Structure formats: C-alpha cells, structure tokens
Amino acid sequence: MTPDAIALAFQHACAAELAALKAGNVHRFSPGHGMEVRHFEQAAAAAAPFIAAAGERIGARIEGAVAASLAATGLNTNLGIVLLCAPLALAAERGGPLRDSLHVVLEDLDASDAQATFRAIAQANPGGLGRHESHDVAAPPRIGLIQAMTLAAGRDRIARQYASGFADVFDLGLSRFRNLEDAEPEARAEAVHLGFLAAFPDSHIARKFGPEVAEAVRREAAEIAREVDFAAPAAERHPPLLAFDQALKQRGLNPGTTADLTVATLFAAALSP
C-alpha cells in the first residue's frame, strides 16, 4: 500500500470515529472534556504524514505524529491513536496479510523505537499516567518497546495490543465491524466502540478514577449494548447512546482508550478490506 493511501486511510478512520456517537467521547453530536471535533480533525491531519512516512520505523512515526499533533492543537488528542496506528501503517506498507505483516513489524522493534516512543509519551503527558519505579516513560528506556509494553499490559489496553499482536483489534473490533456489513457506517463504528467498552474496563478511566469506576462503566455499557440494535436507523439506536454519553460526561468520565481502539479497528479495516 502506498504512503498516500495509508495517510488517507488514517484520516478517514479518524473522521469515521468522530462521525459516530461514541458514549463519553468527543464526536459530532457532542464535545467533551474540554475538546471539540475540530481538535481531533486538526490532529489527524497533522499526524497523517508521519503515520504514513515511507521507510520510517515505528518509533519515528510515533514521535513525529505526536509532535505534529501537539503543535497543531496544543492538546493531547491522539497519543493512543498514534501508538496503535503506527504499527498498522508500517504493516500495510510491507504488504501481505495485515495481521501477518504486523507480527513481523512488532518483532522488529528495537531500542530506537523504545526511545522515540518514550519521548513521545512523555511529551504528550497523558492524564493519569503517573510514575513507575522501573521503566518510567519520563526516563530513557532500559528495555525494548515490546518488553515495556508487556510490563504495562495489565494496566493499559493499548500496551496490551503490542504484547498480544493487536488481538483486541483483530478478534473483537474487526470481527464486530465485519459482522455488521449491511449497517450504516456510523452504526458499525458505534457497535465497535460499545463492544470494546462492554468487553473490558477502559484503561484511561481506570488510570484516572480507579478500576472500580472503570468496571462500573463497563457494566453500564454491557447493559446498553443489549438494548441497541445497530442495524436500525440512527433515530432508533441513538437515544440510549445519547443518554449514556451525557451521563458519562456529567461525571467527567472519558473512555479514551476505547475510542483509540475504535480508530485502530477502522484503520485496520481500511488497510485490509
């Protein structure tokens, strides 16, 4: 796949995620958490050339995309998106079945990727990250990126993707997306998002508010998932999603990891139609 096609697929995935009613996150139906749709659009446009930079390693793509996004918006809108999409972009550039190529790409990560990624994470300064006695992102890494992500996998769902070969994206996200082939595009994205949110506690919420709150949100999402028919038109499926969206935002709860995984799923779908 060409760099231009990859960059376009990335921007389309970001736009498709913003067009969907994703409870608790920023979307075209509602801003939230001090951010608006335009911030995410600006960040996506700024990040795309770096995500798709031909021949660049994953760490360089991540660091360049994060720096460009911060410069464009002054906000950390897309660190998780960038962390997830950079490996997928390089896998698409290599060609072949996306999941197989991704496995090769992840195995090739080296110390330079860890250094660049740690710098990008520290620059973005994501909320609730905290400090860790060993292998803190604020200090130069002493281990490889996969090792660092594996150590963090128990508390961070994005790190878990690196450790698991993006199992959640392929086995849960893409499966749900493809099972709704005849649904509206926004409905497919909404189904992926709510599917992730109902399947496991959002790690962004867990970092900021604790695992009990994140698990409570997961249970709420699971109940709502049983109510929503994603094959139905928006007028029928949106009322419970809007109510859930408002309830989460009133409590200041932002399932940011779930939104990031949704973008990664939409990106992977575009890269392997």
pLDDT in tens, 239-249: 999 999 999 99
CB 183 within 8 A of CB 191: yes
Q: What is the pLDDT of residue 127?
A: 54
Q: What is the pLDDT of residue 273?
A: 72
Q: 194 falls in which pLDDT band (50, 70, 90)?
A: very high
- Of all residues in the chain, what percent carry a pLDDT higher than 90? 84
Mean pLDDT, residues 6-15 taken together:
98
CB 188 within 8 A of CB 177: yes
Instruction: Determine the Cα–Cα distance for residues 187 and 224; give it in Å rounded to an integer.
Output: 14
User: pTM of the full predicted structure?
Assistant: 0.93
Top-confidence residue, 167 or 143: 167
How far apart, in Å, are the Cα atoms of 157 and each of 4, 99, 163? 29, 18, 10
